[in-house]
Structure formats: structure tokens, C-alpha cells
């Protein structure tokens, strides 16, 4: 009397359910680890950038000091310029 076709019921074993749950847990853990890894990678990149900037700043300061010493040795006076407010 009812002419509607229904999909045949799929038999799912407890082992299949357990396997799927384990796969889901594994996928969640992998996602957590990859996010944690990305955060660590970004943090490391930021630290490297800061250290490179610090290294460049120190290098420029040394070059400036060297130039000041050379100018002073050549008889020039080196004065700091103050900012006007």
C-alpha cells in the first residue's frame, strides 16, 4: 500500500562504531597538534624577527660610533642634535 521506497538499513557493527570514534578522536588530536605547531612556528618567527631587528640596530649603532670616532680623529666636532618641541 505504501509505494515509497526506503533506503535499506545499513547494519553497523560495534567495531565499526568504535573505529569511527577512534578516527574522529585522532583527527581532533591531529588538528590540535597542527594548531599548536603553527602557534609555535609563528612565535619562533616573531622572535627571530625581533632578534634580527635588534642585531641590525646594534650594528648601525656600532657603525655610527665608528664614524663619530673617525670624524673626531679628523678634527671635526660631533654634537647631538636636539629636537625642538
HSE at residue 71, side-chain half, CA atoms within 13 A, is 10
The reported pTM is 0.48
Query: What pLDDT does residue 13 have?
Result: 85
Report, as an integer, the average pLDDT of 50-73: 94
User: Is 80 exceeded by the pLDDT of residue 57?
Assistant: yes
Q: Say whether 6 sits in a helix, a strand or coil.
A: coil
pLDDT band for 25, please (50, 70, 90 cuts).
very high
Q: Which residue has cell 547494519? A: 11
78 and 71 Cβ atoms separated by less than 8 Å = yes
- Mean pLDDT (the chain) is 86
User: Is 70 exceeded by the pLDDT of residue 7?
Assistant: no
Q: How far apart are CA 20 and CA 24, in angstroms?
A: 6
Amino acid at each position: 500500500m505504501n509505494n515509497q521506497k526506503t533506503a535499506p538499513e545499513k547494519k553497523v557493527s560495534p567495531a565499526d562504531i568504535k573505529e569511527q570514534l577512534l578516527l574522529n578522536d585522532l583527527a581532533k588530536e591531529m588538528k590540535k597538534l597542527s594548531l599548536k605547531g603553527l602557534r609555535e612556528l609563528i612565535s619562533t618567527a616573531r622572535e627571530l624577527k625581533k632578534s634580527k631587528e635588534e642585531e641590525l640596530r646594534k650594528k648601525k649603532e656600532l657603525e655610527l660610533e665608528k664614524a663619530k670616532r673617525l670624524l673626531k680623529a679628523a678634527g671635526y666636532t660631533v654634537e647631538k642634535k636636539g629636537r625642538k618641541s
